[in-house]
Structure 1
């Protein structure tokens, strides 16, 4: 699973492609996809922007492939829950977003082996860090998100 391009390109590629994925999945007749779209549209309305459409790529793919993405992307309300989330995280390789959702998060922490590796200020850079860390540390994708992550890996490589 070697990456043959600059890791800095991953957030840009994901951001550019995520809206197209949203449009394709929106056309699917799966109830879980429809429920996810409704939830994200509501979040767009509350936040007053289109950011949730782009940052919810994992949620869209999870609803399509019937996977639970909450194991690799966790949201916490404030920093007081941070240590507990790190220590009790399963699997022990994930991103923590502080805020109600990835779209409203103000910081994103990359956790590897229950250690905070890096702090990012935006969703796509944090996810790119997570994605690259799977390769760098030679860690298999969690079974709960394997198909979605493989899909994203192929999507990013095809850009």
Structure 2
């Protein structure tokens, strides 16, 4: 199609390059945000696994009226732990090659629930910190009070 001035209608090469550059910049920003969200999800998954295992230990101590615990051997950082339930002990690894740090209440390297009420044995609270060097988001698993209630949060 030709206009009055003799130019054909459409886009110039320069206009197309500018549009492609803008699309490339937006795609790059979106990609890095996507990667950040994936890494945050991995940290959350690791914290959720340990919190779930702590709840399982507490529930087993109450339901089966036998002590249950989670224990680890290293001081820090912790990449694996043992889930000690009545009748079975399971070695567990923190998912996605992440680690956690026991921030407070970890002198015995163990969180033990006593039967029949699922109370903590000799401790009144523990805080486990989950983070990754690749993201700035930190998750905490708190074992609170004598009752040993497990809370997963992103606030200390």
Give the TM interval when normalised to the shorter protein: under 0.3
Between 1 and 2, higher relative CO (CA 8 Å, sep ≥ 6) is seen in 1
User: Which structure features the higher share of strand residues?
Assistant: 2
The normalised TM-score by structure 2 is 0.26
Structure number with greater Rg is 2
